[in-house]
Structure 1
């Protein structure tokens, strides 16, 4: 017999904001995906490379689940997280909540999910579970993965039990909004300035604007970094554009968040940040296309061009975040 909650799934692009949207709409709090991403101070940058990695990874957001924690803190939501090493207890935790009418967020490894087309291990994937029957779990994932989908209970258990980079121990979570549902407007400026300050003052050179500058230098060497450039370079570019980022390594999502904010707050700093992130998003997509081209053709000049673009992007995003970090020092008028 099936246990299913009535939920609303929408066309979304990024896994964590997809799950957050499902959980919060069920609580009566309806925010756009860019607003969820921005209020969670989700934008970042990391150039990640290590000896045990086959190829460098460019990341455009904060660590998995940090966005959820940021959003809950900022909006005063009650975030209850359960983790366990016991597969049996892990299932009992979510079955009890779904049975009581609460959709549940799950962090797991997307590799094991039946409906996933690309079989790549990623332990930071997040879905919202809203039902189950004797054989399958019903979950909401991104538009790219099918939206409302199902996966066998066996595959779900494997995905939740997986270990490796970014994985969590059968993590499940719920969000509860206070009686008076919070208005996001008052939290926009703190969310933006927190994101900007972290981006402008990274603790190591692989993060923030310094990380993008570093990527601009190192991307030029990527043909020498791999023995299979036809596979690795297009794959890296694909992750930047298509892997749940919303395009342009999450810059499209942040651009749309800033656009939404300019409709709510009258601020020249905000408009400057929006204009620069609109430009930066276009350049990220251009860089990804050049990286793909270099992998397919073996032409090192394409990587030189991509590196030059990333150098420009580093300066552009730094300028954008400097403007946005100044939001805290002005009192923008709320748009009528």
Structure 2
């Protein structure tokens, strides 16, 4: 989204960061799944499925997600936008994007197509997981857009957009987004899967309650998994935290940047405090990913880090709520 806003020439007086745009989606969350026959030993995600629609609504961008099962029609959606000189955002499964070099499926990853060459059979995309534009084959893009992987089929999801002439008031947008993220973490995202469809051995949870569930379940992995499944689950944990288009630290590093940018642009000590809290959360998530990747680190150490995260994120949500509802003038807070 940041790249599209930059292309449209929209900002609040300085270039937008990826984190500021992420945070304005109000999409921060937590979801954990350990379900037999899921296709991946575990599933961990730090942002909800409504990010694209919510950030567009909050910033006055007109869009709607288009989906189809017709690959020809889906390709025409892309070329039509590009031929008019406008890049286009798509959903794609990370498992089929060769430059990411991951095998786990995540069908809700956003990429922006900025060019194509039908003679060469290639497209050029920008991805928040890579600093530079990436060139991949049209066939690889089609596989990523037609994936039926987890958590749901992509069905060539495409987001054509019309941009406003200027962005709305940042303070209003930032407060609204902070409140939405805090509420989503406090309340959780509801049932992660249909409870009637879950095997009895499934473990699921979302929001702060789900984070507590995750920490408890993480300690039990050696007792509930064989050696191969345990190794796969630890590797998957590291990938979902650091590599699945998260910006590092399970999207917490992006959330911290949102808070820091809002603090700077709005002269808000409340947002600055929230930024420090979410920076701490991002750091510990990255420590957890590193520990999970190291076979010599005992499982109990991973569980201890997860328990630390329960407390850090509960406090960080409180800081986010205060940023959403308080005005700061010097050292004096005025509650709204």
CA distance in 1, matches of 2:328, 2:4: 31
Is residue 308 from structure 1 mapped to residue 304 from structure 2 by the alignment?
yes
Distance 1:226 1:44, change over 3 A: farther
Q: 1:72 aligns with which of 34, 49, 56?
A: 56
Whole-angstrom distance in 2 between the partners of 1:77 and 1:333: 32
Query: How far apart in 1 are the matches of 2:129 and 2:277?
Result: 28
Shift of residue 143, structure 1, vs aligned partner: 4.8
Cα pair 1:83 1:172 within 8 Å, conserved: yes
Partner of 1:273: 274
Contact 1:198 1:208 in 2 (8 A): yes
Please list every run of at least 4 consecutive aligned residues from structure 1 whose deviation after the TM superposition is greater than 6 angstroms: none
TM-aligned CA distance change 1:312 to 1:101, over 3 Å: same
Q: Residues 63-90 of structure 1, C-alpha deviation per residue, up to 9 Å, x if partnerless?
A: 2xx1111101111111143211111111
**Distance in 1 between the 2:280 and 2:125 partners?**
35
Measured after TM superposition, the shift of residue 107 of structure 1 is 1.1
Q: For residues 236 and 327 of structure 1, what CA distance do their matches in structure 2 show?
A: 31
Seen in structure 2, the aligned counterparts of structure 1 residues 133 and 81 have a Cα distance that, compared at 3 Å, is same
8 Å CA contact 1:107–1:167 kept in 2: the answer is no
CA distance in 1, matches of 2:163, 2:328: 27
Which residue matches 2:109?
125
Helix, strand or coil at the partner of 1:126 = strand
What is the CA–CA distance in structure 2 between the aligned matches of 1:58 and 1:159, rounded to whole Å? 20
Work out whether 1:168 is the aligned partner of 2:154: yes
TM-score scaled to structure 1, two decimals?
0.83
CA distance in 2, matches of 1:159, 1:240: 21
Closer, same or farther in 2 for the Cα pair 1:94/1:73, shift >3 Å? same
Give the direction of change, closer, same or farther, for the CA distance of 1:60–1:80 in structure 2 (3 Å limit): closer
1:195 and 2:181 are equivalent in the alignment: yes
- Match of residue 320, structure 2, among 319, 324, 336: 324
Q: Secondary structure at the match of 2:46?
A: strand
In 1, the alpha carbon distance for the partners of 2:134 and 2:77 equals: 21
For residues 32-70 of structure 1, the C-alpha deviation after alignment (integer angstroms, 9 at most, x for no partner) is 10101100113211111212134222222212xx11111
Q: Is the 8 A contact 1:209 1:315 kept in 2?
A: no
Which residue in 1 is equivalent to 2:201? none
Structure 2 unmatched runs, 5+: 192-203, 331-336
- In structure 2, what is the equivalent of residue 236 of structure 1? 237
SS at match of 2:251: helix
Whole-Å Cα distance in 2 between the matches of residues 56 and 260 of structure 1?
Answer: 33
Aligned-partner SS, 2:91? strand
SS in structure 1 opposite 2:90? strand
SS at match of 2:148: coil
Match of 2:333 in 1: none
Q: What does residue range 73-112 of structure 1 map to in structure 2 within 5 Å?
A: 73-112=57-96
How far apart are residue 267 of structure 1 and its match? Answer: 4.3
Secondary structure, counterpart of 1:182 in structure 2: coil
Contact persistence 2:46–2:251 (CA under 8 A): yes
Q: Pick from 118, 126, 134 the counterpart of residue 149 of structure 1.
A: 134
Q: Which position in structure 2 is the counterpart of 1:48?
A: 33
Q: Which residue of structure 2 lines up, in the alignment, with residue 10 of structure 1?
A: none
CA distance in 2, matches of 1:211, 1:102: 40
In the superposition, relative to structure 1, how do residues 191 and 84 fare at CA in structure 2: closer, same or farther (>3 Å)?
A: same
Q: How many residues align?
A: 308
Mapped partners of 1:318, 1:207: distance in 2: 13
- What is the TM-score of this pair, normalised by structure 2? 0.83
The answer as to whether partners of 1:55 and 1:226 remain within 8 angstroms in 2 is no
**Shift of residue 333 of structure 1?**
5.0
